[in-house]
């Protein structure tokens, strides 16, 4: 039995202000799609940049990793929970094409490259509301349960 989108979201080991997942729209053994709307009062907009805030690339990468690797990893393992999760980014390479401004909704689409020995590697794209590509790359992470 596949976990529901809510069950996957409930298992995420993040909370505000460092949770960058609002919804999941599709999930399968091969990939996942989800969204996040960057709130206008996010902590990182103050000072990045003066009078014209944009979302830092590291935050866009984190959003891509949370949806595209962690949520998909939770789905694939079915056994990770926020109480017993060991999750670590192991590699990322992201190319950026345009800015994301406060209030903007983004969609993350992730396609699994491989999942073996608890390492998940994905090709991940982040798109704006028009479907334009904001950034894309390859992100890998390790997912496993803490030993008792």
At 106-141, the pLDDT tens digits run: 999 999 999 998 899 999 999 999 999 999 999 999
pTM of structure: 0.92
Q: What is the mean pLDDT of residues 61-67?
A: 97
Domain count, the chain: 1
CATH number at residue 23: 3.10.129.10
Neighbours of 34 (CB within 10 A): 27
Catalytic residues: 48
Q: Averaged over 69-77, what is the pLDDT? A: 92
Please give the residue range of the domain that contains residue 28: 5-145
Average pLDDT over every residue of 77-85: 65
pLDDT at 55 over 90: yes
Q: Considering the chain, what is the average pLDDT of its residues?
A: 91
Give just the sign of the alpha carbon dihedral 46, 49, 52, 57: negative
pLDDT surpasses 70 at 1: no
Segment 80-100 mean pLDDT: 82
pLDDT higher than 70, residue 2: no
Q: Which residues, 6+ apart, have CB-to-CB distance to 118 below 8 Å? A: 77, 142, 143, 144
CB-based contact 51:109 (threshold 8 Å): no
Structure-token match 């069950």, residue found: 7
Instruction: Give me the pLDDT at residue 45, please.
Output: 95
């Amino acid at each position: 039995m596949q976990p529901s989108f809510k069950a996957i979201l409930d298992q995420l080991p993040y909370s505000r202000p460092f949770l960058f997942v609002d919804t999941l729209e599709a999930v399968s053994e091969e990939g996942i799609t989800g969204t996040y709307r960057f709130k206008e009062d996010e902590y990182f907009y103050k000072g990045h940049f003066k009078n014209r805030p944009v979302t830092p690339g590291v935050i866009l990468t984190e959003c891509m990793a949370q949806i595209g690797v962690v949520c998909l990893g939770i789905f694939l393992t079915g056994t990770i929970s926020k109480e017993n999760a060991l999750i670590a980014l192991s590699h990322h390479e992201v190319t950026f094409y345009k800015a994301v401004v406060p209030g903007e909704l983004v969609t993350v689409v992730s396609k699994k490259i491989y999942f073996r020995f608890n390492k998940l590697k994905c090709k991940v794209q982040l798109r704006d509301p028009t479907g334009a590509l904001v950034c894309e790359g390859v992100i890998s992470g390790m997912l496993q349960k803490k030993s008792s």
